[in-house]
């Protein structure tokens, strides 16, 4: 990182939004906004990454993010190799580094990795010359999710500066929340988080956010209400009291939505637990922009691949 | 203790410090027949020690040597050599081996093999419980008979208060120090770094300071209850330091050590190093305020220091941060780490690395005529470039690449150099 030409992204990897500049986030969002046009044509393909190889390695279940990345690479004409933990040698006890060494033998241009451990993408990025894109590392970051969230917000709100974004749910264990907090703060937005004391401790203030413990305290001033998924099966012991109580204190229903700003955006990284984070009428209502998030996700991932690997974006291996 | 017939040695012009008695001086020190002598011997090997400092050699009460079961990490020979290089004349091995050192026959066998090492003397701590499982008491009597110099939970904090109490009651008559890791396993859960602002930034699960403090509290209360002699290995927070100090003021027989590297490193270093697994440690690195409290406690003589030596191979460290085995090599850099953190206060370092740990094991390290020559010669003004271990097999030295102050020039056990960089 560190180029004398401000136009070109010289970064090798996209590991997280912490420390990424406002100028660079803006560049990625602008590129995504332009590249969207490809996805509206009849022939949804451009030759930008023809002959380049993109490997996607998902060590955690995910159908949609994975498909989104795969499709993004394919629309840019790259060759795509998919790799999922269940069918791979990790079952045979192969370490991540050894798996990566094997992948390296094919000389890929980029690896998209989702992994249950924070820092896994960083370990590979340090050791190998190809670009690494973090599709989610443990509870740490999920930068492309936050980028697509910010693009969606920007589409509706214009500018993110001074906007108030509320994030509700298990903030502590959410990589979506973390990346959004880093990115939104860089873009000048205010972030307020709400959740149970076990999932949303006051200590989160050290990230530069306000901390509340009831959704009612955050709906009224918010420009955006982002609801996070509660995954009961992934919570540790004694983290929450029950789905009914959770929905009562933290769920977004029509009555709460009515108290919010009439133009408020309702967002969710998906998939939605209907009746827990949101009632169906909110999820399907006219404030919800969840499906736009999905299509923006594809555009953001295309933009990132273009910026990291495309001719204009610079060759990460050049040296 | 081996007192051999070696050629007499004269350390010429050395500055010597005896932290136990508070005495110090400059001049020539004579070593004859393995002891410090009153008068200059004839036919001596003269070592020009001007500009160097002489202390009692350092003592490590809890180093992980991988024999039996983990020989790729370390063995008695490499561990002994690493100790000697670091200025340690005595290294006590922890019992967390495979199999665990929970029976006298195994300890006796290891001790017999250890008598052949040529670096630091190697002794052994016996396990308190069978297999270090924290359930049944190990054959403590037979471990003592076989030569154990301490008893230990091997880093597996005994969470069951009743078992811990019984272990302390049973072992007390044998008079050996009991080494305990202060912890609360259920609360530590799957944490890997200190629970605080840095954990939030890097997205790693945190270990709350309270877990260590509960463990410290439990150990102190039971030491008070049973009259046992307990040594906390190791503490890392300001609050733990305060608890230990208060307990000692009340006459509880508790001592504690901190890892030497914890005097220099904080949790922020995990962040800056980009998930470097040599910083994956138990206890975890804590924030700056805790680091400062540890430095202060060492300065005041409230706690001693340990190298917390846990050498690991690439196989064990080349993993994602949370999956890497915790631990770092430390015998070779502990002295320089401590001297750097204490701004050259060599007497405090001597107290913390040499005297405290030695006294814990019932030794009386003295620099005086007639005393056994268990010494370390250091250059306290030299700057070294810390590197991956030279003698230890471990590849996990977190201080590698740093400039540190203080170099071990020679280590002497009973009058014989077990390490020397000056051709002595």
Q: A282 vs A150, A232, A291, CA distance in Å? A: 21, 21, 13
N-terminal to C-terminal alpha carbon distance within chain A:
13
CA distance B349 to B301: 9
Complex prediction ipTM: 0.90
CATH number of domain containing B349 = 3.20.20.140
Q: Mean pLDDT for chain B?
A: 96
Average pLDDT of the residues in A9-16? 88
Q: Does the beta carbon of B275 lie under 8 angstroms from any beta carbon of chain A?
A: yes
CB contact under 8 A, B203 and A178: yes
CB contact under 8 A, B320 and A140: no
CA distance B58 to B277: 27
Q: Does the beta carbon of A142 lie under 8 angstroms from any beta carbon of chain B?
A: no
Average pLDDT of the residues in A144-170? 97
Predicted pLDDT at B42? 86
Tens-place pLDDT, residues B126-178:
999 999 999 999 999 999 999 999 999 999 999 899 999 999 999 999 999 99
* Confidence band, pLDDT 50/70/90 cuts, at residue A318: very low
Predicted pLDDT at A236? 83
Domain assignment present for B298 = yes
Domain assignment present for B392 = no
Whether the pLDDT of residue A86 is over 90: the answer is no
Closest partner residue to A119 (CB to CB) among B189, B275, B318 is: B275
Predicted pLDDT at A4? 44
Predicted pLDDT at B1? 47
CB contact under 8 A, B202 and A140: yes
CA distance B79 to B121: 10
* Confidence band, pLDDT 50/70/90 cuts, at residue A5: very low
* Confidence band, pLDDT 50/70/90 cuts, at residue A89: low
Q: Does the beta carbon of B200 lie under 8 angstroms from any beta carbon of chain A?
A: yes
Q: Which domain holds residue B207?
A: 58-362
Domain assignment present for B247 = yes
Domain assignment present for B418 = no
User: How many domains does chain B fold into?
Assistant: 1
CA distance B424 to B417: 7
Predicted pLDDT at A87? 52
DSSP 8-class letter at A274: B
* Confidence band, pLDDT 50/70/90 cuts, at residue A313: very low
Question: Taking a C-beta distance cutoff of 8 angstroms, is the pair B91, B411 a contact?
Answer: no
Whether the pLDDT of residue A1 is over 70: the answer is no
A122 contacts in chain B (CB < 8 Å):
274-275
The greatest distance separating any two alpha carbons of chain A, rounded to the nearest whole angstrom, comes to 58
Tracing tokens 């998902």 back to the chain, one arrives at: A58
Domain assignment present for B346 = yes
Predicted pLDDT at A93? 79
CB atoms within 10 A of CB A156: 13
Interface mutation vs chain B, best among A98, A123, A239, most B CBs within 10 Å: A123
Residues of B numbered 306-325 whose beta carbons fall under 8 angstroms of chain A's beta carbons: which are they?
A: 318-323
Predicted pLDDT at A234? 73
Q: Does the beta carbon of B187 lie under 8 angstroms from any beta carbon of chain A?
A: no
Predicted pLDDT at B5? 59
Domain assignment present for B77 = yes
Tokens found for residue B389 = 């271990």
A115 contacts in chain B (CB < 8 Å):
320
Tens-place pLDDT, residues B372-382:
999 999 999 99
Tens-place pLDDT, residues B42-72:
889 999 999 999 999 999 999 999 999 999 9
Domain assignment present for B18 = no
Tens-place pLDDT, residues A191-235:
999 999 999 999 999 999 999 999 999 999 999 999 999 877 778
10 Å CB burial of residue A145 (0-12, 13-18, 19+) is: buried
Tens-place pLDDT, residues A237-269:
889 898 999 999 999 999 999 999 999 999 999
Tens-place pLDDT, residues B343-365:
999 999 999 999 999 999 999 99
* Confidence band, pLDDT 50/70/90 cuts, at residue B114: very high
Q: A302 vs A70, B304, B351, CA distance in Å? A: 10, 57, 62
Domain assignment present for B9 = no
Q: Mean pLDDT for chain A?
A: 91
Tens-place pLDDT, residues B73-91:
999 999 999 999 999 999 9
**Could you tell me what percent of chain A has a pLDDT over 70?**
92
B201 contacts in chain A (CB < 8 Å):
18, 207
Predicted pLDDT at B157? 94
Closest partner residue to A118 (CB to CB) among B189, B196, B321 is: B321
CB atoms within 10 A of CB B192: 23
CA-based nearest distance B196→chain A, Å: 7
Contacts of residues A117-121 at CB distance under 8 Å and 24 or more positions apart, as own/partner, are A117/B320, A117/B321, A117/B322, A117/B323, A118/B202, A118/B203, A118/B204, A118/B275, A118/B320, A118/B321, A118/B322, A119/B202, A119/B204, A119/B274, A119/B275, A119/B320, A119/B321, A119/B322, A120/A59, A120/A96, A120/B320, A121/A13, A121/A15
CA distance A177 to A300: 18
* Confidence band, pLDDT 50/70/90 cuts, at residue B324: very high
User: Between residues A231 and B41, which one has the greater pLDDT?
Assistant: B41
């Amino acid at each position: 990182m560190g180029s004398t030409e401000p136009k070109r992204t010289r970064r090798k990897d996209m590991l997280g939004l912490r420390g990424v500049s406002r100028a660079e986030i803006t560049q990625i969002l602008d590129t995504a906004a332009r590249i969207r046009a490809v996805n509206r044509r009849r022939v949804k393909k451009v030759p930008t990454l023809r002959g380049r190889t993109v490997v996607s390695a998902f060590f955690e279940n995910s159908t949609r993010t994975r498909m989104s990345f795969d499709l993004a690479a394919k629309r840019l004409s790259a060759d795509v190799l998919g790799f999922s933990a269940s069918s791979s040698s990790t079952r045979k006890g192969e370490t991540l580094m050894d798996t990566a060494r094997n992948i390296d033998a094919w000389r890929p241009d980029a690896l998209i990795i989702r992994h249950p451990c924070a820092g896994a993408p960083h370990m590979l990025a340090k050791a190998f010359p190809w670009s690494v894109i973090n599709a989610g590392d443990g509870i740490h970051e999920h930068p492309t999710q936050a980028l697509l969230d910010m693009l969606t917000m920007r589409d509706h709100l214009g500018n993110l500066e001074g906007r108030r974004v509320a994030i509700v749910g298990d903030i502590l264990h959410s990589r979506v929340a973390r990346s959004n907090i880093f990115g939104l703060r860089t873009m000048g937005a205010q972030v307020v988080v709400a959740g149970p004391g076990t999932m949303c401790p006051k200590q989160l203030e050290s990230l530069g956010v306000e901390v509340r413990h009831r959704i009612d305290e955050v709906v009224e001033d918010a420009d955006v209400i982002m609801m996070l998924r509660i995954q009961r099966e992934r919570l540790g012991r004694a983290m929450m009291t029950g789905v009914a109580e959770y929905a009562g204190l933290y769920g977004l229903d029509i009555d709460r939505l009515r108290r919010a700003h009439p133009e408020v955006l309702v967002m969710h990284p998906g998939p939605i637990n209907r009746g827990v984070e949101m009632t169906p009428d909110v999820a399907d209502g006219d404030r919800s922009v969840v499906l736009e998030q999905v299509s923006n996700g594809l555009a953001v991932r295309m933009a990132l691949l273009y910026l990291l690997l495309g001719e204009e974006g610079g060759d990460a291996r050049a040296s | 203790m081996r007192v051999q017939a070696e050629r007499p040695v004269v350390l010429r012009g050395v500055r010597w410090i005896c932290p136990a008695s508070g005495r110090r001086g400059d001049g020539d020190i004579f070593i004859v027949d393995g002891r410090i002598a009153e008068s200059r011997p004839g036919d001596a090997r003269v070592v020009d020690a001007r500009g160097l400092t002489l202390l009692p050699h350092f003592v490590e009460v809890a180093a992980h040597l991988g024999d039996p079961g983990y020989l790729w990490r370390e063995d008695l020979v490499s561990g002994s050599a690493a100790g000697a290089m670091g200025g340690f004349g005595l290294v006590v091995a922890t019992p967390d081996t495979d199999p665990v050192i929970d029976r006298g026959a195994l300890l006796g066998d290891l001790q017999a093999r250890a008598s052949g090492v040529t670096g630091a003397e190697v002794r052994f701590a016996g396990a308190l419980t069978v297999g270090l499982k924290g359930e049944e008491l190990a054959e403590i009597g037979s471990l003592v008979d076989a030569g154990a110099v301490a008893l230990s939970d091997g880093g597996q904090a005994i969470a069951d208060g009743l078992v811990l109490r019984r272990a302390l009651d049973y072992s007390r008559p044998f008079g050996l120090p009991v080494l305990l890791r202060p912890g609360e396993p259920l609360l530590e859960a799957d944490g890997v770094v200190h629970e605080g602002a840095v954990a939030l930034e890097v997205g790693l699960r945190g270990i709350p300071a309270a877990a260590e403090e509960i463990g410290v509290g439990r150990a102190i209360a039971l030491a008070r209850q049973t009259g046992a002699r307990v040594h906390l290995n190791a503490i890392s927070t300001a609050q733990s330091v305060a608890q230990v100090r208060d307990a000692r003021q009340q006459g509880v027989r508790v001592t504690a050590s901190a890892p030497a590297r914890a005097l220099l490193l904080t949790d922020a270093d995990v962040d800056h190093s980009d998930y470097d697994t040599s910083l994956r440690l138990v206890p975890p690195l804590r924030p700056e305020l805790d680091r400062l409290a540890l430095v202060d406690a060492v300065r005041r003589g409230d706690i001693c220091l340990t190298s917390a030596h846990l050498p690991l191979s690439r196989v064990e460290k080349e993993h994602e941060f949370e999956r890497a085995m915790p631990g770092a090599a430390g015998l070779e850099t502990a002295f320089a780490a401590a001297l750097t953190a204490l701004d050259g206060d060599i007497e405090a370092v001597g107290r913390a690395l040499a005297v405290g740990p030695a006294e814990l094991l019932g030794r009386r390290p003295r620099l005086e005529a007639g005393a056994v020559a268990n010494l370390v010669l250091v250059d306290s003004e030299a700057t070294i470039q810390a590197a991956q271990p030279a003698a230890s097999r471990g590849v996990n030295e977190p201080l590698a690449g740093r400039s540190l102050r203080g170099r071990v020039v020679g280590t002497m056990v009973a009058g014989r150099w077990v390490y020397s960089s000056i051709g002595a």
